Each structure stands twice: as structure tokens, then as C-alpha cells.
Chain A
């Protein structure tokens, strides 16, 4: 039983490191070959976990081989357009200028009900309102509405807008982000004095603090119950 626990922790660590090495795209948008690798990884990790009679190496080496294969394939796809087409496939236009591209739909065996369902989920239930609907290589449908049908933006009305940057996180759960303070040419002493003005004497008491682009400090103190 203890052996099983130790093996599980080892394999879990290896799989997590493996997925991290594969890159950030893995979790959100899997290409077909990446999906295969993730499924295989989980299966490979499960066998030595449940069967202590199988050497750990029998799970670790194939897992490592899959990681190498994935990283190598992603580099090949990065460098070569042709290889990218073979490995990942190419996006398909299913609707063009408000018209369904029938041939493409048949080629992909993608039925109209699925297409309508996807369009509804993108808040464009009317095909006539769609300029382009593109089925990406990850299987996700991206919809570009006709210019008359998209939401109005300030530029459409020639409205000037103020710069909106990102608020900088300064404290999370009592931990001060000195790097972020340095980026905006401030330091912890400034933060302490600012928070002191609001009656906060200890930075450890702060749950969250951030500074927006207008220089407004937002903070929230931890509740006593937590």
C-alpha cells in the first residue's frame, strides 16, 4: 500500500512536469495529436500506479518518450507550414459571406445541427448575420459576424477613450510582490505608508491590494474569521 502511494506521487510529479514541458497550449486547446498524448500519458501513469509488480521504469520511460515526441512535433509544426498542415490539420471555413460552404461540411462530416448549435452558443443564431465561421484545428468554431451585426465600439462613433492599462497586483494573501512594485518605480515602504493612511498597519493583514493605471490603490483586509 505504501509502495503504491510513493509510486503514485512519483508518477503524478512526472506527468505534471511533462504537461508543463509540453507548454501552456496543452490545457486549453489540444490539437488532435496532443489529445492522443494526454490520453496515453494518463493510461501509462495508471498502470504502474495500480500494479506494483510492474517496474516504475515501464511507466516512466514511455511517458518521457511521449513528451519528447510531443515537443519534437510541436517544434516541427512551428518551423514548417507543410508539417503544421499534416500534424495539426488546417482551419476550415464553414460559412462564408452568410452562406454555408456545403462541400466543406460534407468533407468534415459536420452536420448542420452541430453548426447551428455552435452558432447559437456564439450568440449568432442567424446564419445570414455571419461573415465567416471557421472550424479551427482544435475543433473550436470561431464566428466573425458581419460588420453591421457586431456590437458598437467607441471607434465606430469616433469617441475618444482614455488609456486603460492593467491594474498591478501588489499584495495577495499578505505576500508583497516586490517585483511588481519595482516595475512601477515604487517600493514596500510606499505601500506601507499608503496603507497606514487607511489604518492598515501590517501588510500581512491584507488579502489583496492592487494599483490601477490612474494611481488608485485598491485593498481588502483579511476577515478575522479566516
Chain B
């Protein structure tokens, strides 16, 4: 019975960790989204240099907020986000409006998709 109790305590801790992880994913993806929105605002007002600075901010934010993501998420998804961020940075540096907007839309979708995919919802369970 002691073994079962110990295992159940650890299991409860893992379940709690799972809920906390989902919460942290939600928070950090929200922060990344605000960074992306900042870039969008700069692009709307044609402030290319400021938009480029914001991409550096986004990268910094990604480094700080999402350092732990690979421990719980598919590494391919992390790679896709990093590739997308590298493309955005380059498109903005080249002042390519269409590709910048397109890549930003894709990045937004990918960042949004992560907490949605991990959330406890019937569609995810099924």
C-alpha cells in the first residue's frame, strides 16, 4: 500500500505539473503574441527600422519565455517557429511587405496553435 500511495502522490504531482505547464504555455505564448503585434503595428505605419528592432525583441522574448518549450512540445514545432522568426527578420530587413505580412500571419498561427493543442479539450483528446 505504501508503494501505491507513493506512486499516487507522484502521479498527482505530475498531473499538477501538467496543468501548470498548460498555464505557462498560455502565458508565454500570449507574451510572444504581443511581440508579434508590436511588429505588425510598426509595419502598418511603415516603420521598418522599428519593426526590425521589434524582431530582435521577439527573438529575445522567445529565448527567455520559451526556453523550456522543447521539454514538453514536439521539437519540430519549435524548429518551425524558429525558422519562421528567422524569415520574418530577413523579410523586414529587405523591406518586403507582402512576405513580411505573410510570414507574420504564419508565425501567429503557430504560436497560437501551441497552447490550443495542449489544452484539455475533447477535440484534443479525440
Contacts and interface: CB of A to CB of B under 8 A. Distances in A.
Given A61-B14, A75-B1, A21 B72 contact: no
Nearest to B73: A55
Interface string B1-32: 10110011011001000100000000000000
A55 B70 contact: yes
A193 interface: no
User: B-side binding surface: helix, strand, loop or mixed?
Assistant: helix
Given A21-B3, A21-B7, A75-B1, A53 B14 contact: no
B61 to A, nearest CB: 22
Contact of B75 (A52, A64, A71): A52
Contacts of B10: 64, 68
Question: What size tier do the contact residues of chain A reach?
Answer: 10 to 19
Contacts of A55: 70-75
Contacts of B4: 71-72, 75
Size bracket of the B interface: 10 to 19
B45 interface: no
A203 interface: no
A53 B74 CA distance: 6
A225 B75 CA distance: 53
A54 interface: yes
A162 interface: no
